[in-house]
């Protein structure tokens, strides 16, 4: 009876050991699953992605330096049909100066100021450029809007009238080619949206020539239009470019 009794106690102990081992293994597996779930990259919803992208784009005018927003030199092109050639003529614009941040009303004419205020514009930054012949000037302004929809609507309203349309005020600089650049020299203006920004430009002659009918000179009209739109497009493209899709690095609380 003694040997049989020892075997019974041994079997009971073996069963307890197996049970404990099973429970411990299950607990370890559960812990590992929990850790792996924490380490797996978190997936943002489509709505969260849109919010993050919008936030990143709205911050760009603050995170980019003035020199990044307004490069020292900008390349643009005179269309081929203006030259009766097979390809357009590559041209350069050079920065004259950059202004400090100003209010939307101070940086635009009265009519544009009302449109910008209706769209809840918060600030404008401006710079003036000259063409490579030093005969024309363009002031380009970046109006900061509360979102893409507001920017599109505002740009559309600004572009609805006859030339020169309501827009940004010409920006002059002492002791430069742009020293006499003002509203009397405004020949044409332009407004487009790029992301949550309205990019406005106004063009005129560097010699102080007051407004004339550019339509009577198709080449001058096309040359100045290409200058104004080329500078506006070059400034607006980096500001309105969509950032990469946001991804969570996977850390807890990311």
HEC secondary structure over 3-26: HHHHHHHHHHHHHHHHHHHHHHHH
What is the SS3 assignment for 203? strand
pLDDT of residue 162: 82
Is residue 81 very low, low, confident or very high in pLDDT (cuts 50, 70, 90)? low
Q: Select from 136, 67, 132, 65 the least CA-distant residue to 94.
A: 132
Q: What burial letters (b/e) apply to 207-216, b meaning 16+ CB within 10 Å?
A: eeeeeeebee
178-223: pLDDT as tens digits: 999 999 999 999 999 999 999 999 999 999 988 876 666 778 888 9
6-37: pLDDT as tens digits: 444 445 444 444 444 444 444 444 444 444 44
Residue 120 has pLDDT above 50, yes or no: yes
pLDDT of residue 85: 58
Domain ranges in the chain? 1-40, 49-240
Pairwise pLDDT comparison (120 vs 39), residue with the higher score: 120
Per-residue pLDDT averaged across 71-75, rounded?
A: 97
- Mean pLDDT, the chain, as a whole number? 81
Distance of CA 54 to the CA centre of its chain: 10
- DSSP string spanning 102-148? B-TTTTB-HHHHHHHHHTT--EEEEEEEEETTSSEEEEEEEEE-SSH
Count, residues in the chain = 254
pTM of the model: 0.76
DSSP state of 180: T
pLDDT of residue 156: 96
Residue 48 near residue 65, CB atoms below 8 Å: no
Tokens (6 digits) for 148 = 């893409």
217-246: pLDDT as tens digits: 778 888 999 999 999 999 999 999 887 776
Q: Select from 86, 33, 70 the least CA-distant residue to 171.
A: 70
């Amino acid at each position: 009876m003694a040997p049989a009794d020892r075997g019974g106690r041994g079997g009971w102990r073996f069963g307890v050991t197996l049970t404990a081992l099973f429970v411990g293994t299950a607990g370890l597996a559960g812990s590992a699953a929990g850790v792996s779930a924490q380490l797996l990259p978190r997936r943002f919803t489509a709505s969260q992605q849109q919010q993050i992208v919008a936030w990143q784009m709205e911050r760009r005018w603050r995170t980019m330096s003035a020199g990044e927003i307004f490069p020292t030199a900008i390349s643009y092109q005179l269309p081929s049909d203006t030259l009766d050639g097979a390809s357009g003529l590559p041209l350069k614009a050079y920065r004259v100066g950059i202004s400090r941040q100003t209010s939307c009303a101070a940086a635009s004419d009265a009519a544009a100021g009302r449109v910008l205020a209706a769209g809840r514009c918060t600030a404008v930054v401006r710079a003036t450029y000259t063409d490579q012949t030093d005969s024309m000037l363009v002031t380009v302004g970046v109006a900061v809007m509360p979102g893409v929809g507001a920017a599109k609507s505002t740009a559309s309203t600004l572009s609805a009238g006859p030339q020169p349309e309501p827009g940004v005020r010409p920006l002059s600089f002492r002791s430069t080619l742009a020293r006499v650049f003002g509203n009397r020299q405004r020949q044409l203006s332009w407004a487009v949206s790029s992301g949550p920004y309205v990019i406005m430009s106004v063009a005129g002659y560097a010699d102080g020539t007051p407004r004339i009918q550019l339509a009577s000179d198709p080449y001058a009209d096309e040359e100045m239009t290409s200058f104004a739109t080329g500078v506006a497009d070059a400034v607006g493209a980096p500001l309105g470019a969509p950032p990469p899709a946001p991804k969570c690095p996977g850390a807890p609380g990311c």
